[in-house]
Structure 1
Amino acid sequence: MTAETSNSAPLRFVFRGQPVSVTGAPATRSVLQWLREDAQACGTKEGCAEGDCGACTVLVAELAESVPAGSRAILSEGLAIRPVNACIRFLPTLHGKALLTVEDLAQPDGTLHPAQQAMLDHHGSQCGFCTPGFVMTLSAEHERQACTSGPCPGRAELADALSGNLCRCTGYRPILDAAQAMLQQPAPRLPLAGLREQLLALQATPAAPHSPRTLAELATLRADKPAARLVAGATDVGLWVTKQMRDLGELIFLGDVAELRRIDEEAEGLHIGAAVTLEDGWAALVVRWPALAEMFRRFAGPPVRHAGTLVGNLANGSPIGDAPPVLIALGATLRLRHGEATRELPLQTFYLDYMKNQLQSGEFVESVHVPFATLQPGWQVQAHKLSKRFDCDISAVSAGFALRLDGDTVAEARLAFGGMAATVRRAAAVEAAIVGQPWTEATLRAAQAALAADFTPLSDLRASADYRRLGAAGLLERLWLSTRPADPVAVDQLRVWA
């Protein structure tokens, strides 16, 4: 399918509880455009058109068996439900799924959903523009809680769930008051009755154009169309359309390839498929490396994480991506595929220059393998992010650190930085300054001095070169303080938000 031409085959999904068929929609038409302009469903708002403010938040439901074990999607009534940004979600990606918006929440008799009622009771809305997005995120959390037997999430956890929703005038205290009150009212819940049966019926319909359902189909299509652009969550390329008005050319959608949506654990490590969402992929990492939890919390907002993919964050080659430094530090490798042929490539060698990588014509990233080596005794892993906002912001500097001590001596180190050069890369001079040395303050100072040999950062709108140099040196100091053999400082004591 191309961005300029319309799809010939109809797109089929469930909306307002009924199957709908859409023909003639451009491949890059957003769900938000379709809602407001075609379906006249104007409760969903357009704010930023880039997935930052959350005013356009909707819920997308699919069959529960399509998501990996341990998924962070809300699992209810045989469905996997995710909040996503409608403004950068391409309409064809809804094929075979169900779409729920703020108009779906109230009961036919007018009874409001607990999220709506609580926002009303606790004065959680002032101008009201952001309110539908907040209500949709809250309704998802209400459904999540209704499907679990655990305690209600606290205020901090609810704030994390709402980190992808921006309020410009009301203030977050009454919204969080509403969130807590909502959880005390178990019903009514999301209108999910009959959706699973409808989605099962849609499985028999043909796939959307250029939306392969198997890895073999994708490999053949990619080899035949090497110039086509691969799209998974569109949390990056969606902005090329909404902000830059770019023609994306021919598109291939990865999100329906079953083999790419898997997370497989083997004795040596995790294999995370190219269509696994950031939310699910990063959650799988946090289970094994709890030290990555804060980076998970600050990695975009939930609607972006539920749409974008972990491999997409690696493959796009951004020098300020949050995942590449961490996975380079963990020793990750990529599996690249062309037709039936595959090859393995260390992630640290994948990036050649700014937005340039080692993919050959017709080749694509099938998965990322994250080895368990750094779970062995002696290893310490950390992930850090410096940005202007705590939540849902792009990094000025990001870092992934893996350090192994043998007694008081640094035996191994993999220290990777983003935001310091044209690509994410390891700090070779810094590593050379510490490996084989006692892990003392003198060694730390030598490492900080060696940063100048590794990086010559630039100034831009996010940070000055001096800030980046000082920030990177500070992150090395944070690493040393928390891992030094004598009197290490607890990592929580080095965080702004403990």
Structure 2
Amino acid sequence: MVAARITVNGKETPISPAAPHTTVLDFLRERGLTGTKEGCAEGECGACSILVARPGVNKPTDWVAVNACLVPVAALDGQEVVTSEGLATAGEPGKPSTLHPVQEEMAVRGGSQCGYCTPGFVCSMAAEYYRPDRCAHADADGHTDAEHGPNGFDLHALSGNLCRCTGYRPIRDAAFAVGTPTEEDPLARRREQAPPAPAATEYTQDDSAFVRKSTLEETLRLLRERPDAVVVAGS
């Protein structure tokens, strides 16, 4: 069986030597990607949001915001992840990176106060930015409702992200100001290819293991053989 690995910001990274129960949040932070923050560690604040390539609705792939604090890293074996650090475009040697449009709008509109929640907001906002069917949302007179911007941005996309500094107004302004992805945008182009299929996984480290079978029959057999196994579903 192929060694468990995960693609992070375009780079394939082995999961080993992380323990099977290690969360994606801890896995990323231990590798220096500290934009992903631990806020509540129970999936309620969104400070740890990342983007995961998932089967799409209107395109082969959708970028979906996921709480990294809830998911065991082994559950993303073979999958593709983008963190807040992976959104900016690297510059030429000796030159700074170019901010992603979502990062740019958050910066110029004051959407970051203490900054702790900002990377999570940016990832959730980016997921909505890349929603293929997002379009102008206004009536004939140019009016919109409180939950949708003229650019079609649906604020429900940020409903899982909390700002402790009560800075929601500039965050909303940033969300309603983002444009549409360009044809050169690599994450927009990535939507045209299918996401990685879930991998059958048997990842063992020290005295514990994460096992994902490829069929229901195999799973039921495993549970019969290992009644002490803990079933992880959804996270």
Of the two, which has the highest radius of gyration?
1
**Which residue of the partner structure matches residue 119 of structure 1?**
106
- Tell me if the contact between 1:55 and 1:129 (Cα under 8 Å) persists in the aligned partners: yes
Going from structure 1 to structure 2, the CA distance change for 1:101 and 1:11 (only over 3 Å counts) comes to same
Per-residue deviation, residues 350-383 of structure 1 (Å, max 9, x unmatched): xxxxxxxxxxxxxxxxxxxxxxxxxxxxxxxxxx
Query: CA shift at 1:24, angstroms?
Result: 2.8
Q: Specify which of 6, 17, 39 is matched with residue 10 of structure 2.
A: 17
206-215 vs 93-102, greater mean Cα deviation: 206-215
Change in 2 beyond 3 A, CA 1:194/1:149: closer
Report which of the two has the higher share of strand: 1
- Preserved CA contact (<8 Å) 2:24 2:73: yes
Asked if 2 retains the 8 angstrom alpha-carbon contact of 1:12 and 1:22, the reply is yes
Name the counterpart of 1:314: none
String of CA shifts for 1:362-421, please: whole Å, max 9, x gaps.
xxxxxxxxxxxxxxxxxxxxxxxxxxxxxxxxxxxxxxxxxxxxxxxxxxxxxxxxxxxx
Q: Which amino acid aligns with 1:225?
A: R
CA deviations on 1:65-111 (whole Å, 9 max, x unpaired) are xxxxxxxx6754x3243211111211101112101100111112322
Measure the CA separation in 1 of the matches of 2:171 and 2:57.
21
- Deviation string for 1:252-303 (max 9, x for gaps)? xxxxxxxxxxxxxxxxxxxxxxxxxxxxxxxxxxxxxxxxxxxxxxxxxxxx
Alignment match of 1:208 (pick from 202, 208, 215): 202
State the partner residue of 2:234: 233
Cα distance 1:215–1:29, how it changes in 2: closer, same or farther (>3 A)?
same
Shift of 1:142: 0.4
Shift of the 226–91 alpha-carbon distance from structure 1 to 2, 3 Å rule, reads same
Deviation at 1:47, TM superposition (A): 0.9
Residue number among 81, 85, 94 corresponding to 1:99 in the alignment: 81
Question: Among 136, 155, 162, which residue is 1:151 paired with?
Answer: 136
- Within the candidate set 51, 57, 76, 1:59 is matched to 51
Identity of aligned residues (%): 39
Deviations along 1:193-231, one digit per CA (max 9) or x if unpaired, are 56987965x87x753341011111112112222221110
- Name the aligned partner's letter for residue 118 of structure 1: E
Per the TM alignment, residue 186 of structure 1 is displaced from its structure 2 partner at its CA by: 3.4
* Count of residues in Structure 1 that have an aligned counterpart in Structure 2: 211
Q: Which amino acid aligns with 1:102?
A: S
TM-score by length of 1: 0.39
CA deviation after TM superposition for structure 1 residue 28, in Å: 1.1
* Alignment partners' CA distance in 2, 1:74 and 1:59: 16
Indicate the structure with greater helix content. Answer: 1
Quote the Cα distance in structure 1 between the aligned partners of 2:186 and 2:66.
16
Residue 131 of structure 1 aligns with which residue? 118
Displacement of 1:32: 0.9
Alignment of 1:88-487 (within 5 A): 88-109=70-91, 110-144=97-131, 147-148=132-133, 150-152=135-137, 155-157=146-148, 158-182=154-178, 184-187=179-182, 189=185, 191=187, 207-209=201-203, 210-234=211-235
SS of match in other structure, 2:171: helix
Residue 26 (structure 1) aligned with residue 8 (structure 2): no
Structure 2 match to 1:324? none
TM value normalised by structure 2:
0.79
Shift of 1:117: 1.0
Long gaps (5+) in structure 1: 1-7, 65-72, 235-498
**Contact in 1 for aligned 2:200/2:213 (Cα 8 Å):** no
Deviation (angstroms), 1:155: 3.9
Structure 1 counterpart of 2:64: 82
Matched residue type, 1:179: A
Unaligned runs of 5+ in 2: 92-96, 138-143, 149-153, 204-210
Quote the offset at 1:191 in angstroms. 2.7
Give the residue type in structure 1 aligned to 2:18: A
Would the aligned equivalents of 1:74 and 1:81 in 2 still touch at CA under 8 Å?
Answer: no
